Amino acid sequence: MLMGTSTPNLGGSDFGTANTNYGPLAVRRSYQGAADFPSTYGVPTTFAASNAHIDYDTTNAKSNYVSIYSFKPDIDKMGTCVLDSAFMSFLQSIPTNHRCILGMWHEGDGKVRQGTFTLAQWQKATERFLKLVRSFGGLNIYSSVILEAYQPHSGTDFANMILDSWYSQELIDLFLVDGYSDLGTKGAVWDYAINYSQLKNVPWGVAESGVKSGTVTGTWMSDQVQYCLQNDAEMFCWFDNTVGTVLATPGSGSDAKASAQMASKILYQDPSTWMLSA
């Protein structure tokens, strides 16, 4: 299981510090805002221009970190194929030997509940995104859907959001969730995702995990890592950030950093040779 994190600077200028504090980290979570790349309506113009660019070592031509990278394109233009050319150009710009997990409009279930867009809009755009990644066929590029671990919600649970046809067409390589401490611990946080991934026979992992209130403790952190490892998660990323009124995890506490570092050291895998489980 790959261990990683998301840090406050989306471009990654602070990731080296995180790697020193609780690494060695093998995966890095980053994303772009809806207003980024206005000329291409939110589609990254090139990998080098994206917030994931530091994940690849251009000097030595290898992955520094496996990328979990998502972006927020214009939802209708993505769904109606207007952005096909721009997105294919982005895919072509990703170094062929870089390990990259791509997502679009992460936590789309929450956005639907908030009214940012409709379920139909998200599904249409996501299906187009998935089909373009599949048609591109990059050996080291994986498609993902990233949803909230918060279940069930009427109309936006995993089965509502993800169409069965995406599995029958083998469009989804990896199912990812974001889960936080307000759900509890271990099974209370992760079992919906675990059971769903087993039902659909798709690999799963954690794109974000952290603490929403109270105190960030090493015990809670190690419990989540161990539980996800025991249940075959492909990766586990901390959310070392306060966006969304959460607590940075692991943050600056010595106990929490020690817990994160222990997991990183024990579970480390070389990002430049990692492959998604079949």
pLDDT tens-digit readout, 177-186: 999 999 999 9
Q: Residue 13: which residues within 8 A CB-CB, separation 6 or more? A: none
Could you report the per-residue pLDDT of 206-249, keeping only the tens digit for each?
A: 999 999 999 999 999 999 999 999 999 999 999 999 999 999 99
Q: Where are the domains of the chain?
A: 2-267
This model's pTM is above 0.95:
yes
Average pLDDT, the chain: 97
Residue range 2-26, pLDDT digits in tens: 999 999 999 999 999 999 999 999 9
Which tokens in the block code for residue 105?
Answer: 């409009």
Q: What does the pLDDT look like over 97-151, one tens digit per residue?
A: 999 999 999 999 999 999 999 999 999 999 999 999 999 999 999 999 999 999 9
pLDDT at 277: 87
pLDDT at 228: 98
Residues in the chain: 278
CATH (residue range 2-267): 3.20.20.80
Q: Using alpha carbons only, give the angle 99, 102, 104 rounded to the nearest 5 degrees.
A: 170
Amino acid residing at 64: N
Strand segments, DSSP code E, in the chain are 2-6, 27-31, 56-57, 62-63, 66-71, 100-104, 141-148, 174-180, 204-210, 235-239
